[in-house]
Amino acid sequence: MSLSANYSSLTSWIEVPEGSDFPIQNLPFGIIRINGGKKRVASRIGDNVIDLKTLFVLGYMENLPFEMEDFDSDSLNRMMRKGKQGTRKLRERLLKLFSTGSADLKNHEHHVNQVVVPIDQVEMCMPVEIGDYTDFYSSREHATNVGTMFRDPDNALLPNWLWIPVGYHGRASSVILSGEAIHRPKGQQKPAEDQNPVFGPCKLLDFELEMAFITYDGKALGDSISTEEAEDYIFGMVLFNDWSARDIQKWEYIPLGPFLAKNFASSISPWIVTLDALEPFKVDGPDQQPEVLDYLKYRGRKSYDINLEVLIQPDGGEENSVCKSNFKYMYWTMAQQLAHHTVNGCNVRSGDLMGSGTISGPTPDSYGSMLELAWKGTKPIPMNDGSERKFILDGDTVIMRGFSSKDGVRVGFGEVSTKVLPTK
Ligand code: CA
């Protein structure tokens, strides 16, 4: 997207509080409900949402490739079927309508009152109907840490890791929205000292700090998406907490990989931030050695500088920051992940969700899971209230936040927040 020269000085006639994740440069997309009414598509500026269905009905979406049903919908899937060109035109229209100095909408106060709704009067809903959920394993530091703990520090990375963006197919039905609590999962565990497995509540409940991207409709079955084309098929990104039951995982994962340790819940943030909004925050990806196969090669900047933080809030207590990481630490880029996912002819559809894999950085305070932060329970993390954590306890709320910042412009994701309740 070509950005205007005055991009960083662009402001909106809707007030944006200092430090907000949602200046006019962001314009994320989500699904809202007002007063228990029908769900609809919305965007956000500062602490107000923009009701896109009403904006359409009032005639402000003329000459755009959309119908009212695209916004009068309980998911973004239908709108996303208009593809990158469609949603980009929509974003440009919103930029125009809500910029300081633009009078088309602003001068019609009775329209503004219908379209602009304070966020505290709005219920956020799942933004997409997720058809398929794929999870990658693309942080070199995370894979190295896990390999060091569970296999061999001298051969921490498995032989395929530097050649393949390793991934697996997850479960879409249990992807939940920020704010929805989860119950501690139960399952089989195999304590080292016991000969046989035991059954009970997970004792090693963990978060995984991830981000996820959401796709547009891809190509037909049998066709592939190249790294060059990949961004045309990616709508935007969310924060993603891929909950993990480490004790269940350890016993079940051989030979087919994660199953019940992963599929009980994964939480996402409610606003999808578009790649167009993230364009100014692109950075070079890491140097990749050995040189990757041709279909994974790419040109230009394909990584993003997104600051990430994880906080644990004990029941009734204060938030404790336990991790600061960055999306740019990922070894494999989203373009490579999507190219790899489709290189065999696998198709993707509007609303598919692709998790990055746990995002660990180079330093111990940037590790993206409790498994690594507390190093298998050997280095407990102190909390402000005097307690400590090796893993997540009942009553804890895990919060993840993320934002990009450059030239005075901050584009953020809000948060994904999930409370853990006792086993049912
Ligand atoms: Ca994961």
CATH number at residue 314: 3.90.850.10
Separation of CA 247 and ligand 1 centre (Å)? 15
Domain end point (choices 109, 125, 141): 125
**pLDDT-derived band at 3, boundaries 50, 70, 90:** low
Give the model confidence (pLDDT) of 237-248 as tens digits: 999 999 999 999
> By residue range, what is the domain housing residue 322?
133-421
Do 416 and 240 contact (CB within 8 A), yes or no? Answer: yes
Same domain? For 245 and 166 the reply is yes
Which of 125, 160, 175 terminates a domain? The answer is 125
Statement to judge: residues 168 and 93 lie in one domain: no
Look over the chain and give the mean of its residue pLDDT values, rounded to a whole number: 96
Same domain for 119 and 258? no
Specify whether 232 is located in the same domain as 261. Answer: yes
Same structural domain, 213 and 85: no
Residue 1 scores a pLDDT above 50: no
Residue 327 and residue 251 in one domain: yes
The CA distance from 273 to 275, in Å, is 7
Burial 110-132 (b: 16+ CB within 10 A, else e): ebeeebbbeeeebebbbbbebeb
How many domains does the chain divide into? 2
Q: Where a domain ends, among 74, 104, 125?
A: 125
Average pLDDT of span 356-362 = 97
Compute the distance from residue 173 Cα to the ligand 1 centre, in Å.
Answer: 16
Tell me, what CATH number does 109's domain have? 2.30.30.230
Are 294 and 417 members of one domain?
yes
Confidence check: pLDDT of 49 > 90 = yes
What's the 138 CA to ligand 1 centre distance in angstroms?
10
Query: Cα(289)–Cα(259) distance, rounded to whole angstroms?
Result: 31
How far away, in angstroms, is 263 Cα from ligand 1 center? Answer: 10
Positions annotated as catalytic residues are 142
Considering the domain architecture, whether residues 241 and 361 belong to the same structural domain is answered as yes
Average pLDDT over residues 253-268: 95
Is the whole-model pTM more than 0.75? yes
Q: 351 and 219 share a domain?
A: yes
Expressed in angstroms and rounded, the spacing between residue 241 Cα and the centre of ligand 1 is: 8
Residues that place a CB less than 5 A from ion ligand 1: 135, 208, 242
